């Protein structure tokens, strides 16, 4: 089971709106890929790599180009903490689990 924190939900909405400004169909496809990745993470949570900036085994990331999906796995729940553009600097303190 996966869930997202409010920050991640807001970031997804912002990313979708940004992409949709010029390419609405691409925004829909990106969102569908994002949902598919979240579903696959629920089944296989170890597929992501450790977040390099954090160097903590509890934080992992996968990519849904051009966005990083950063998540934390508890025993029963996968929590998506952040979805941000790969070119942005990551403020690790803003995504604490």
Segment (H or E) for 2: strand 2-4
List the domain boundaries for the chain.
Answer: 2-95
Token duo for residue 87: 């070119």
Per-residue pLDDT reduced to its tens digit, 18-73 = 999 999 999 999 999 999 999 999 888 888 999 998 888 889 999 999 999 999 98
pLDDT top residue among 74 and 9: 9
Say which CATH topology domain 2-95 has: YaeB-like fold (3.30.2310)
* pLDDT tens-digit map of 65-95: 999 999 998 777 889 999 999 999 888 877 7
Q: Is the pLDDT of residue 1 over 80?
A: no
Is residue 97's pLDDT more than 70? no
pTM of the model: 0.90
Would you call 83 helix, strand, or coil by DSSP? strand
The answer to whether residue 17 scores a pLDDT higher than 90 is yes
Contact 50, 59 (CB under 8 A): yes
């Amino acid at each position: 089971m996966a869930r997202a924190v409010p920050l991640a939900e807001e970031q997804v909405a912002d990313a979708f709106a940004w992409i949709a400004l010029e390419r609405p169909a691409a925004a829909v496809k990106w969102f569908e890929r994002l949902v598919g990745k979240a579903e696959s993470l629920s089944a296989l949570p170890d597929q992501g790599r450790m977040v390099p900036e954090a160097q903590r085994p509890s934080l992992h990331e996968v990519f849904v180009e051009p966005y990083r999906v950063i998540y934390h796995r508890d025993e029963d729940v996968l929590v998506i903490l952040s979805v941000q553009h790969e070119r942005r600097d990551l403020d690790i303190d803003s995504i604490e689990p």
